[in-house]
Amino acid sequence: MCSFLIVCLSYSCFVKTFWKILVTFGVLGLFVIVIAFAIAAIVGGADISSFSGGEVAVVPIYGDITLGGCSSGILFTETCAEVGDIKDQLKAADNDPQVKAILLDIYSGGGNVVASRELMRAIKNTKKPTVAWIGEIGASGAYYAASAADKVVADDDSMTGSIGVIMPVTQYYGLMDKLGVNVTVIKAGESKDIGSPYRPMTDEEKGELEGMIGKVYDSFTSDVAKNRNLDLEYVKNISRGKIYLGSEAKDLGLVDELGGFDYAVELAAGLGGIKGEPKLKRPERKVRLTDLLSGG
Protein backbone atom coordinates (compact mmCIF):
# COMPACT_ATOMS: atom_id res chain seq x y z
CA MET A 1 0.00 0.00 0.00
CA CYS A 2 1.25 3.50 -0.88
CA SER A 3 1.13 6.31 1.63
CA PHE A 4 2.85 9.61 2.31
CA LEU A 5 5.10 7.88 4.87
CA ILE A 6 6.28 5.03 2.65
CA VAL A 7 9.20 5.36 0.30
CA CYS A 8 8.01 4.35 -3.12
CA LEU A 9 10.00 1.76 -4.99
CA SER A 10 7.75 1.62 -8.02
CA TYR A 11 6.84 4.34 -10.54
CA SER A 12 3.09 3.73 -10.14
CA CYS A 13 3.33 4.15 -6.39
CA PHE A 14 5.29 7.39 -6.87
CA VAL A 15 2.66 8.81 -9.25
CA LYS A 16 -0.21 8.01 -6.92
CA THR A 17 1.60 9.50 -3.94
CA PHE A 18 2.56 12.61 -5.92
CA TRP A 19 -1.04 13.33 -6.93
CA LYS A 20 -2.28 12.76 -3.40
CA ILE A 21 0.20 15.30 -2.11
CA LEU A 22 -0.67 17.78 -4.89
CA VAL A 23 -4.42 17.55 -4.31
CA THR A 24 -4.03 17.76 -0.55
CA PHE A 25 -1.87 20.88 -0.69
CA GLY A 26 -4.18 22.39 -3.30
CA VAL A 27 -7.21 21.98 -1.04
CA LEU A 28 -5.29 23.28 1.95
CA GLY A 29 -4.04 26.26 -0.06
CA LEU A 30 -7.56 27.15 -1.23
CA PHE A 31 -8.84 26.84 2.34
CA VAL A 32 -6.11 29.18 3.61
CA ILE A 33 -6.92 31.73 0.89
CA VAL A 34 -10.63 31.70 1.75
CA ILE A 35 -9.92 32.10 5.47
CA ALA A 36 -7.43 34.89 4.83
CA PHE A 37 -9.88 36.74 2.60
CA ALA A 38 -12.66 36.42 5.17
CA ILE A 39 -10.38 37.79 7.90
CA ALA A 40 -9.34 40.67 5.64
CA ALA A 41 -12.99 41.44 4.92
CA ILE A 42 -13.80 41.60 8.62
CA VAL A 43 -10.70 43.47 9.76
CA GLY A 44 -9.97 45.67 6.78
CA GLY A 45 -13.48 46.15 5.40
CA ALA A 46 -12.76 44.36 2.13
CA ASP A 47 -15.70 44.24 -0.25
CA ILE A 48 -16.59 40.62 -0.93
CA SER A 49 -19.65 41.52 -3.00
CA SER A 50 -17.55 41.70 -6.16
CA PHE A 51 -17.48 37.91 -6.18
CA SER A 52 -21.28 37.65 -6.01
CA GLY A 53 -22.09 40.34 -8.57
CA GLY A 54 -23.56 42.85 -6.13
CA GLU A 55 -27.05 44.04 -5.31
CA VAL A 56 -29.32 46.88 -6.36
CA ALA A 57 -31.41 48.16 -3.46
CA VAL A 58 -34.97 48.99 -4.53
CA VAL A 59 -36.50 51.83 -2.51
CA PRO A 60 -40.23 52.35 -3.17
CA ILE A 61 -41.71 55.86 -3.10
CA TYR A 62 -45.46 55.23 -3.28
CA GLY A 63 -48.28 57.65 -2.49
CA ASP A 64 -48.21 61.06 -0.84
CA ILE A 65 -44.79 62.18 0.38
CA THR A 66 -45.09 63.11 4.03
CA LEU A 67 -43.08 63.63 7.19
CA GLY A 68 -45.84 62.70 9.61
CA GLY A 69 -46.92 59.26 8.46
CA CYS A 70 -50.03 57.99 6.71
CA SER A 71 -53.53 59.05 7.59
CA SER A 72 -55.75 56.16 8.54
CA GLY A 73 -59.23 55.23 9.60
CA ILE A 74 -60.56 52.25 11.52
CA LEU A 75 -60.04 49.76 8.70
CA PHE A 76 -58.10 51.51 5.95
CA THR A 77 -54.62 53.01 5.87
CA GLU A 78 -53.72 55.34 3.04
CA THR A 79 -50.57 54.46 1.10
CA CYS A 80 -47.92 57.09 1.60
CA ALA A 81 -44.20 57.68 1.25
CA GLU A 82 -43.03 58.46 4.76
CA VAL A 83 -39.74 60.32 4.47
CA GLY A 84 -38.32 58.95 7.72
CA ASP A 85 -38.74 55.35 6.51
CA ILE A 86 -37.26 56.12 3.10
CA LYS A 87 -34.25 57.87 4.65
CA ASP A 88 -33.65 54.78 6.80
CA GLN A 89 -33.73 52.59 3.69
CA LEU A 90 -31.31 54.88 1.86
CA LYS A 91 -28.93 54.89 4.81
CA ALA A 92 -29.08 51.09 5.11
CA ALA A 93 -28.32 50.72 1.40
CA ASP A 94 -25.41 53.14 1.65
CA ASN A 95 -23.92 51.17 4.54
CA ASP A 96 -24.46 47.72 3.02
CA PRO A 97 -21.27 46.51 1.26
CA GLN A 98 -23.33 44.13 -0.90
CA VAL A 99 -25.40 47.00 -2.34
CA LYS A 100 -23.73 48.71 -5.28
CA ALA A 101 -26.53 51.00 -6.47
CA ILE A 102 -29.95 52.28 -5.42
CA LEU A 103 -33.12 52.26 -7.52
CA LEU A 104 -35.96 54.58 -6.54
CA ASP A 105 -39.24 53.00 -7.64
CA ILE A 106 -41.57 56.02 -7.88
CA TYR A 107 -45.36 55.94 -8.00
CA SER A 108 -46.42 59.26 -6.49
CA GLY A 109 -48.19 62.46 -7.41
CA GLY A 110 -46.19 64.47 -4.89
CA GLY A 111 -46.75 65.59 -1.34
CA ASN A 112 -45.95 68.27 1.21
CA VAL A 113 -43.32 70.86 0.30
CA VAL A 114 -40.96 70.35 3.23
CA ALA A 115 -41.28 66.56 3.09
CA SER A 116 -40.52 66.51 -0.65
CA ARG A 117 -37.48 68.76 -0.19
CA GLU A 118 -36.21 66.64 2.71
CA LEU A 119 -36.50 63.52 0.56
CA MET A 120 -34.75 65.27 -2.33
CA ARG A 121 -31.83 66.16 -0.04
CA ALA A 122 -31.58 62.61 1.28
CA ILE A 123 -31.39 61.22 -2.25
CA LYS A 124 -28.83 63.81 -3.28
CA ASN A 125 -26.63 62.95 -0.30
CA THR A 126 -26.47 59.20 -0.94
CA LYS A 127 -22.94 57.89 -1.45
CA LYS A 128 -23.88 55.23 -3.99
CA PRO A 129 -25.22 55.68 -7.53
CA THR A 130 -28.96 56.31 -7.64
CA VAL A 131 -31.46 55.84 -10.45
CA ALA A 132 -35.04 57.08 -10.21
CA TRP A 133 -37.63 55.14 -12.20
CA ILE A 134 -40.98 56.82 -12.87
CA GLY A 135 -43.61 54.27 -13.83
CA GLU A 136 -47.21 55.46 -13.83
CA ILE A 137 -46.62 58.86 -12.23
CA GLY A 138 -43.81 60.87 -10.70
CA ALA A 139 -45.10 64.42 -10.46
CA SER A 140 -44.71 67.55 -8.36
CA GLY A 141 -42.92 66.67 -5.10
CA ALA A 142 -42.16 63.17 -6.40
CA TYR A 143 -40.39 64.62 -9.42
CA TYR A 144 -38.66 67.07 -7.06
CA ALA A 145 -37.19 64.07 -5.24
CA ALA A 146 -36.41 62.16 -8.45
CA SER A 147 -34.48 65.09 -9.92
CA ALA A 148 -31.76 64.54 -7.30
CA ALA A 149 -30.93 61.05 -8.60
CA ASP A 150 -27.87 60.46 -10.78
CA LYS A 151 -30.16 59.26 -13.58
CA VAL A 152 -33.91 59.55 -14.13
CA VAL A 153 -35.70 56.90 -16.20
CA ALA A 154 -39.38 57.22 -17.14
CA ASP A 155 -41.85 55.09 -19.04
CA ASP A 156 -42.83 56.69 -22.34
CA ASP A 157 -46.41 57.22 -21.16
CA SER A 158 -45.76 58.07 -17.52
CA MET A 159 -47.02 61.34 -16.05
CA THR A 160 -43.99 63.41 -15.18
CA GLY A 161 -43.20 66.95 -14.12
CA SER A 162 -45.95 69.17 -12.68
CA ILE A 163 -43.30 71.51 -11.28
CA GLY A 164 -45.38 73.93 -9.32
CA VAL A 165 -46.89 74.77 -5.92
CA ILE A 166 -50.51 74.90 -4.86
CA MET A 167 -52.33 76.03 -1.71
CA PRO A 168 -56.08 75.31 -1.75
CA VAL A 169 -58.19 77.51 0.53
CA THR A 170 -61.71 76.25 1.19
CA GLN A 171 -64.35 78.83 2.09
CA TYR A 172 -67.99 78.11 2.90
CA TYR A 173 -69.21 81.37 4.40
CA GLY A 174 -71.86 81.62 1.65
CA LEU A 175 -73.36 78.29 2.64
CA MET A 176 -73.29 79.27 6.30
CA ASP A 177 -75.20 82.47 5.50
CA LYS A 178 -77.91 80.42 3.80
CA LEU A 179 -78.11 78.10 6.78
CA GLY A 180 -78.21 81.00 9.22
CA VAL A 181 -74.97 79.97 10.91
CA ASN A 182 -72.75 82.73 12.27
CA VAL A 183 -69.16 82.39 13.51
CA THR A 184 -67.55 85.19 15.49
CA VAL A 185 -63.74 85.13 15.42
CA ILE A 186 -61.85 86.95 18.17
CA LYS A 187 -58.21 87.47 17.29
CA ALA A 188 -55.06 89.39 18.15
CA GLY A 189 -53.03 90.05 15.03
CA GLU A 190 -54.42 91.24 11.73
CA SER A 191 -53.43 88.13 9.75
CA LYS A 192 -54.19 85.58 12.44
CA ASP A 193 -57.21 84.16 10.63
CA ILE A 194 -55.87 84.48 7.09
CA GLY A 195 -57.56 81.92 4.85
CA SER A 196 -60.52 81.60 7.20
CA PRO A 197 -63.44 79.69 5.68
CA TYR A 198 -65.88 81.95 7.55
CA ARG A 199 -65.30 85.16 5.56
CA PRO A 200 -64.09 86.40 2.16
CA MET A 201 -60.33 86.80 1.72
CA THR A 202 -59.09 90.36 1.26
CA ASP A 203 -56.86 91.36 -1.66
CA GLU A 204 -54.00 92.02 0.78
CA GLU A 205 -54.31 88.54 2.29
CA LYS A 206 -54.42 86.92 -1.12
CA GLY A 207 -51.31 88.83 -2.12
CA GLU A 208 -49.53 87.73 1.06
CA LEU A 209 -50.25 84.05 0.37
CA GLU A 210 -49.30 84.39 -3.29
CA GLY A 211 -45.97 85.86 -2.17
CA MET A 212 -45.31 82.84 0.06
CA ILE A 213 -46.21 80.41 -2.72
CA GLY A 214 -43.98 82.30 -5.13
CA LYS A 215 -40.96 81.90 -2.85
CA VAL A 216 -41.59 78.17 -2.52
CA TYR A 217 -41.92 77.90 -6.30
CA ASP A 218 -38.61 79.71 -6.75
CA SER A 219 -36.88 77.23 -4.43
CA PHE A 220 -38.51 74.29 -6.23
CA THR A 221 -37.43 75.39 -9.71
CA SER A 222 -33.97 76.42 -8.50
CA ASP A 223 -33.30 73.00 -6.99
CA VAL A 224 -34.57 71.19 -10.09
CA ALA A 225 -32.37 73.36 -12.30
CA LYS A 226 -29.30 72.55 -10.19
CA ASN A 227 -30.10 68.84 -9.96
CA ARG A 228 -30.71 68.51 -13.69
CA ASN A 229 -27.96 70.93 -14.72
CA LEU A 230 -30.46 73.13 -16.54
CA ASP A 231 -30.83 76.89 -16.82
CA LEU A 232 -33.18 78.29 -14.17
CA GLU A 233 -35.19 80.43 -16.58
CA TYR A 234 -35.57 77.44 -18.88
CA VAL A 235 -36.95 75.32 -16.02
CA LYS A 236 -39.40 78.06 -15.06
CA ASN A 237 -40.49 78.38 -18.67
CA ILE A 238 -41.24 74.67 -19.12
CA SER A 239 -42.66 74.05 -15.66
CA ARG A 240 -45.65 76.19 -14.61
CA GLY A 241 -47.29 73.11 -13.13
CA LYS A 242 -47.63 71.35 -16.47
CA ILE A 243 -47.66 67.55 -16.60
CA TYR A 244 -45.69 65.85 -19.37
CA LEU A 245 -45.61 62.35 -20.74
CA GLY A 246 -42.31 60.60 -20.17
CA SER A 247 -41.36 60.94 -23.85
CA GLU A 248 -42.02 64.70 -23.70
CA ALA A 249 -40.10 65.03 -20.45
CA LYS A 250 -37.06 63.41 -22.04
CA ASP A 251 -37.13 65.86 -24.95
CA LEU A 252 -37.23 68.70 -22.40
CA GLY A 253 -34.33 67.34 -20.38
CA LEU A 254 -36.36 66.46 -17.29
CA VAL A 255 -35.50 62.76 -17.60
CA ASP A 256 -32.43 61.00 -19.00
CA GLU A 257 -33.75 57.77 -20.45
CA LEU A 258 -37.00 56.10 -21.46
CA GLY A 259 -37.68 52.54 -20.40
CA GLY A 260 -39.31 50.12 -18.01
CA PHE A 261 -38.34 48.85 -14.59
CA ASP A 262 -35.92 46.21 -15.92
CA TYR A 263 -34.07 48.81 -17.94
CA ALA A 264 -33.78 51.04 -14.87
CA VAL A 265 -32.33 48.08 -12.93
CA GLU A 266 -29.83 47.45 -15.73
CA LEU A 267 -28.80 51.12 -15.73
CA ALA A 268 -28.39 51.16 -11.94
CA ALA A 269 -26.30 47.99 -12.06
CA GLY A 270 -24.06 49.52 -14.70
CA LEU A 271 -23.52 52.67 -12.63
CA GLY A 272 -22.67 50.47 -9.65
CA GLY A 273 -20.14 48.44 -11.60
CA ILE A 274 -22.08 45.21 -11.21
CA LYS A 275 -21.08 42.47 -13.62
CA GLY A 276 -23.71 39.97 -14.67
CA GLU A 277 -27.22 39.66 -13.29
CA PRO A 278 -27.75 41.95 -10.27
CA LYS A 279 -29.68 40.79 -7.24
CA LEU A 280 -32.56 43.04 -6.18
CA LYS A 281 -32.82 43.88 -2.52
CA ARG A 282 -36.27 45.07 -1.50
CA PRO A 283 -37.40 46.36 1.92
CA GLU A 284 -39.54 44.15 4.09
CA ARG A 285 -43.20 44.93 3.55
CA LYS A 286 -45.10 46.17 6.58
CA VAL A 287 -48.18 44.13 7.45
CA ARG A 288 -51.29 46.28 7.90
CA LEU A 289 -54.73 45.55 9.25
CA THR A 290 -56.21 45.64 5.74
CA ASP A 291 -53.76 42.93 4.66
CA LEU A 292 -54.83 40.68 7.52
CA LEU A 293 -58.53 41.23 6.83
CA SER A 294 -58.10 40.53 3.12
CA GLY A 295 -55.86 37.54 3.69
CA GLY A 296 -53.01 39.27 1.79
162 catalytic? Reply is no
Residues 6+ apart with CB under 8 A from 177: none
Give CA–CA dist 198/44, Å, rounded: 67
Domain ranges within the chain, ordered by starting residue: 11-46, 55-162+242-294, 167-230
pLDDT of res. 8: 37
Contact 273, 56 (CB under 8 A): no
User: What burial class does residue 229 get, using C-beta atoms within 10 Å of its C-beta: 0-12 exposed, 13-18 middle, 19+ buried?
Assistant: exposed
Residue 292: pLDDT over 50: no
List 49, 108, 116, 140, catalytic entry = 140
Which of the residues 20, 52, 71, 192 is marked catalytic? 192
Lowest mean pLDDT among 124-128, 137-141, 198-202: 198-202
pLDDT band at 147 (very low <50, low <70, confident <90, very high): very high
C-alpha torsion angle, residues 39, 43, 46, 51 (rounded to 10): 30
Q: Which of 70-79, 84-93, 118-127 is least confident? A: 70-79
Residue 36 has pLDDT above 80, yes or no: no
For the cut 80, the answer to whether the pLDDT of residue 112 exceeds it is yes
Q: Which amino acid is at 13?
A: C
| DSSP structure string for 140-197 | THHHHHHTTSSEEEE-TT-EEE-----------HHHHHHHT-------SSTTTTTT-T
Is residue 140 part of the annotated active site? The answer reads yes
Confidence of residue 6 (pLDDT cuts 50, 70, 90): very low
Residues in Cβ contact with 114 at an 8 Å cutoff, skipping those fewer than 6 apart: 67
Mean pLDDT score, 116-130: 96
Average pLDDT score over residue span 199-213: 85
Indicate if the pLDDT at residue 9 is higher than 50: no
Pairing of strands 159-161, 243-245: antiparallel
- Average of pLDDT values for 170-187? 80
Q: Percent of the chain beyond pLDDT 90? A: 50
- Among the listed residues 167, 144, 134, the one whose alpha carbon sits nearest the alpha carbon of residue 245: 134
Class of domain 55-162+242-294: alpha beta
DSSP H or E segment with residue 234: helix 232-238
